[in-house]
Amino acid sequence: MISEAYIRKELKQVKDPEIPTISIVDLGIVTGIDINDKNVHVTLTPTFAGCPALRLMEDMVVNHLNANSKLGKITVETSFETTWTTDLITPEGHIAIKKHGLAPPKRNCSTISMEVLEATKCPYCDSDDTSMKSPFGPTLCRSLHYCNNCKQAFEGFKPV
């Protein structure tokens, strides 16, 4: 009998291709696991509508589960039914984001303002004395910051 917890544990090994320290489970994009005998249907929700890693992650899920001989047919769909927000990132996910050198997103940001983004904690020295340089970074989910304390430029994971 294949359990949802078993599949979830398997999917923890599938990492975000742009932030390889975080699994797609900890990123919070796995919104549905339906098991029918040995067949598994996984539902993902997009982080950003224009994220180019979306299709890649669908393929990674299929490939990873297909390699498991205990499982039958694997299908994946992307659905907007559950809206992804950065609050879906797990506490373990926050640690993984920091490990990659990114500032984790603030929680419960129902209103995003310059003030919220300005007050991003430096992932290197934990100082609050930082300033935001741009709300757009090298990928859609990142913003650019500078730490006035350790004089280090860093990137933040944007709260949405």
Rule CB under 8 A: is residue 48 a binding residue for another protein?
yes
Q: Does 69 bind another protein (CB under 8 A)?
A: no
Q: Is 88 left (phi over 0), alpha (psi -120 to 50) or beta?
A: alpha
From 24-32, 79-87, 90-98, 147-155, give the range in contact with another protein by CB under 8 A. Answer: 79-87
Among 112, 118, 128, 131, binds another protein (CB under 8 A): 112
Q: Does 115 bind another protein (CB under 8 A)?
A: no
Beta carbon nearer to another protein, 51 or 103: 51
In DSSP terms, 40 is beta-bridged to 35, 74
Q: Which residues bind another protein (CB under 8 A)?
A: 46, 48-52, 80-81, 83-85, 112-114, 133-138, 140, 144, 158, 160
